[in-house]
Amino acid sequence: MLRPFLLCHFPSEEIARSVARSTVLIKHIYKVNSVGGTEEDCVKNSKPFGQSGCTWKVIFDTFASKFPKSSQSTIMHKFIDLHKPPGQVLMKDPTLTMAIIHEYPVGISGAPLYPKHNHKGKPIPENINRPPLSVYFCSLFAQGGRDRVEKYTLKKRTYLGPTSMDNELSLIMCNAGLVKSNSYVFDPFVGTGSILFSASVLGGICVGTDIDTRVLKGKGEGGVMRNFEDSGLPLPEIVRADNSLHSRVFKGEEGFDAIVTDPPYGIRAGARKSGTTKERQKPIPDEHRHDHIPQTQIYPVGDVMADLLTVSARQLKVEGRLVYLIPSLKDFEETDLPTHPCLELEWVCYQPLGLLLGRRMVVMKKVREWKGEKEEEWKNQCWPNGKESADKVEKLREQMALAAAKEREEGEKQGWGAKKQKTKKQRKKEMRNEVEIKKFEDEDNDGNKP
Amino acid sequence: MRLLTHNTLQSPLTSSYPLRITATEIKYIKSSGLMPEEGEKDFVKNLMEKKKLEWSGVVGGWRDLKEIVERDLKGEVEGIEIPETQPRPNDPSYTKTLKSLHILLLEIHVITGTLVDSSNERVFKIEGGIPNMILLEDEIE
């Protein structure tokens, strides 16, 4: 059971206001006047609100429950009749917005734990009159930073790709990386730039690299810079470079405040790095060197992560944050996550994406100075449970395909879906036959013309 | 590519530093973030005081860009002065240098041009503001 409202104490109003401003997930902060286990208790505990000359309105708020307008009005009157603020009612932007909140619990997925109606809209009797967890009487204090989610939604962007990340998640990631005004932010797998876009919204100064020129340049939509230009955000610095060769391209110890990234795991886009696995390379003739397309090879997950942690340990400032996503099936535990002696695991958040699949957002903090001479030794400690951990992620695509095939097979066995598919297939075949027969006849006719 | 990034790049073949810039197209974009808190000057100051800025890179970058900046950004960018050695906070020219650095590192974009490794003349192209630092397969080992 989870509670959708969180009761907390702030040392000052100023701190509460700055928390509200910097969050992505908080909707509002309310200042509590009274709390009660029941409505009667809450009314009993309540104190008068507002100064004379104020403008005010009252709203009813709840989560994971629904109340018809008529009962909302009844509830509101219980409070207002007792404490009518000394001022005029104003529905648009009053100085005082009072709120009465009925709190109900939600399940782990965020859905109501005790829905009042089932999915067909029929009332569930035992839930209709279920009492709330608590009732709050409060005033609206500050809005959270959720408006940014809507303002910069992916729908409004010109340049998107299959790997473009959801705006809300990338904002959360940047926030977890403590990105703020003038933070120096790096994304080594920048792709269409969606993470750096969010970093830029939060005021970051952004640098990104990617090996793939196609994704950076786009197909006429303007490429990675386009969305930044459209939204009037400062342009990011983009370098086409291979993260497996990062230390050869960048002189090092740049002191980034945050590295926020979604590494390529080969699920949406196959990971590649420079070089070739061919034993005998054809020499590149000098006259073609300038427009030769460099060869790439498969970039295994084990190396992707080892390189990411190495680059982070080297390029972050001490106290800087690395934030990344890693998808997995149920067999992957938190202890399977890659490690680095310079980086301390700070947060792990698990997001279920289905019954089997999920992903984690991992936040690491740089706690120790980088030592160049230890690079290889540290890199070898990347996977504490051995290579198997990386293999679990590597084989994700394969396993998901297997699971899907199995599901299909079982479905066919049970008969659903299979019948329909067969007739459709048959119909297609029949149609093809008909066309062919007709064609044949036509040709035959033509041939017989004198 | 701005000089901010140029400052961090070296030749992936020889580690030669700084890379020589030849710019054929540049652009001046005033840097004002969505949350401007008068801050970006602090960003530069912080870079300098945390010794994250390679002064030879700044000097080299400005030497390579000076001509085209004075020609193509006339009226937009003026009065940039970069001393040969990194000024200290109590030098009289310090604030002026910070101002110049702010423009140079954050507001002048090289759109088209090349980066050249001075030791072997290997050319890395800059197109659409993006330098291409990818190595050919026979350059990796």
- Three-state SS string across chain A, please? CECCCCCCCCCCHHHHHHHHHHCCCCCEEEEEEEEECCHHHHHHHCCCCCCCCEEEEEEEEEECCCCCHHHHHHHHHHHHCCCCCCEEECCCCCCEEEEEEEECCECCCCCECCCCECCCCCECHHHHCCCCCEEEEEEEEEECCCHHHHHCCHHHCCCCCCCCCCHHHHHHHHHHCCCCCCCEEEECCCCCCHHHHHHHHCCCEEEEEECCHHHHHCCCCCCCCHHHHHHCCCCCEEEECCHHHHHHHECCCCCEEEEEECCCCCCCCCCEEECCCCCCCCCCCHHHHHHCCCCEEECCHHHHHHHHHHHHHHHEEEEEEEEEEEEECCCCCHHHCCCECCEEEEEEEEEECCCCCEEEEEEEEECCCCCHHHHHHHHCCCCCCCHHHHHHHHCHHHHHHHHHHHHHHHHHHHCCCHHHHHHHHHHHHHHHHHHHHHHHHHHHHHHCCC
Q: What is the pTM of this model?
A: 0.83
* Residue A274 to residue B40, Cβ atoms within 8 A: no
What pLDDT score was predicted for residue B36? 41
- Is the pLDDT at B66 greater than 90? The verdict is yes
Give the angle A346-A352-A356 at the CA atoms, nearest 5°.
120
Q: Which residues of B touch A275 (CB under 8 A)?
A: 137, 140
* Residue B135 to residue A245, Cβ atoms within 8 A: yes
What pLDDT score was predicted for residue A425? 65
- Is the pLDDT at B37 greater than 80? The verdict is no
Q: Which residues of A touch B31 (CB under 8 A)?
A: 234
pLDDT tens per residue across span A225-274:
888 888 888 899 999 999 999 999 999 888 999 999 999 887 665 678 88
Instruction: Kindly report which listed range (A349-358, B110-119, B130-139) carries the lowest average pLDDT score.
Output: A349-358
* Residue A242 to residue B134, Cβ atoms within 8 A: yes
- Three-state SS string across A99-124, please? EEEEECCECCCCCECCCCECCCCCEC
Return all residues near A83 (Cβ < 8 A) that are at least 6 apart: A46, A47, A48, A49
What pLDDT score was predicted for residue A447? 41
Q: How confident is the model at residue B73 (pLDDT cuts 50, 70, 90)?
A: very high
Q: How confident is the model at residue A449 (pLDDT cuts 50, 70, 90)?
A: very low
pLDDT tens per residue across span A382-412:
999 998 999 888 888 788 888 778 878 887 7
Tokens of A214: 């196609």
- Is the pLDDT at A73 greater than 50? The verdict is yes
Average pLDDT over residues A107-118: 82
Identify whether the C-beta of residue B122 lies closer than 8 Å to the C-beta of residue B33. no
pLDDT tens per residue across span A4-25:
899 999 999 999 998 888 888 8
Q: How confident is the model at residue A450 (pLDDT cuts 50, 70, 90)?
A: very low
Provide the sign of the torsion angle of the four alpha carbons B55, B60, B63, B69, taken in this order: negative
Q: How confident is the model at residue B35 (pLDDT cuts 50, 70, 90)?
A: very low
- Is the pLDDT at A279 greater than 90? The verdict is no
A424 CB neighbour count, 10 Å cutoff: 10
What pLDDT score was predicted for residue A436? 58
pLDDT tens per residue across span A280-323:
677 778 777 777 888 888 888 899 999 999 999 999 999 999 99
What pLDDT score was predicted for residue A430? 63
Percent of chain B with pLDDT over 90: 60
Nearest by CB to B134, from A233, A237, A241: name it: A241
The pLDDT mean for chain A works out to 85
**Smallest CA–CA separation between A17 and chain B, in Å?**
16
- Is the pLDDT at A439 greater than 90? The verdict is no
Map residue B133 onto helix, strand or coil: coil
Instruction: Kindly report which listed range (A59-73, A234-248, A418-432) carries the lowest average pLDDT score.
Output: A418-432
Q: Within the 168-197 window of chain A, which residues sit less than 8 Å (CB to CB) from chain B?
A: 181-182, 184
- Is the pLDDT at B34 greater than 50? The verdict is no
* Residue B9 to residue A239, Cβ atoms within 8 A: yes
In whole angstroms, what is the distance from residue A265 CA to residue A17 CA?
Answer: 39
Average pLDDT over residues B93-107: 89
| Backbone φ, ψ for residue A10 (5° rounding) | -105, 140
Average pLDDT over residues B103-131: 93
Percent of chain A with pLDDT over 90: 39
A150 CB neighbour count, 10 Å cutoff: 11
- Is the pLDDT at B38 greater than 60? The verdict is no
User: To probe the interface with A, which of B1, B7, B8 has the most A CB atoms within 10 Å?
Assistant: B8
Q: How confident is the model at residue A432 (pLDDT cuts 50, 70, 90)?
A: low
**Smallest CA–CA separation between A194 and chain B, in Å?**
17
- Three-state SS string across B108-128, please? EEEEEEEEECCCCCCEEEEEC
Provide the sign of the torsion angle of the four alpha carbons A60, A64, A70, A71, taken in this order: negative
Of A114, A146, A155, give the one whose Cα is nearest residue A2: A114
Q: Which residues of A touch B1 (CB under 8 A)?
A: 237, 239
Instruction: Give the residue extent of every domain in chain B.
Output: 3-12+26-109
Average pLDDT over residues B50-70: 93
Identify whether the C-beta of residue A344 lies closer than 8 Å to the C-beta of residue A322. no
**Smallest CA–CA separation between A191 and chain B, in Å?**
13
* Residue A238 to residue B129, Cβ atoms within 8 A: yes
What pLDDT score was predicted for residue B59? 96
What pLDDT score was predicted for residue B123? 94
What pLDDT score was predicted for residue A444? 46
Q: Which residues of B touch A200 (CB under 8 A)?
A: 33-34
What pLDDT score was predicted for residue A197? 94
* Interface residue A217 vs chain B (CB under 8 A): yes
Report the DSSP beta bridge partners of residue A274. Answer: A296
Give, in order, the Cα–Cα distances in Å from A245 to each of A375, B54, B71: 13, 21, 37
pLDDT tens per residue across span A165-219:
888 999 999 999 999 888 999 999 998 899 999 999 998 999 999 998 877 877 7
* Residue B43 to residue A295, Cβ atoms within 8 A: no
Q: Which residues of B touch A238 (CB under 8 A)?
A: 129-130
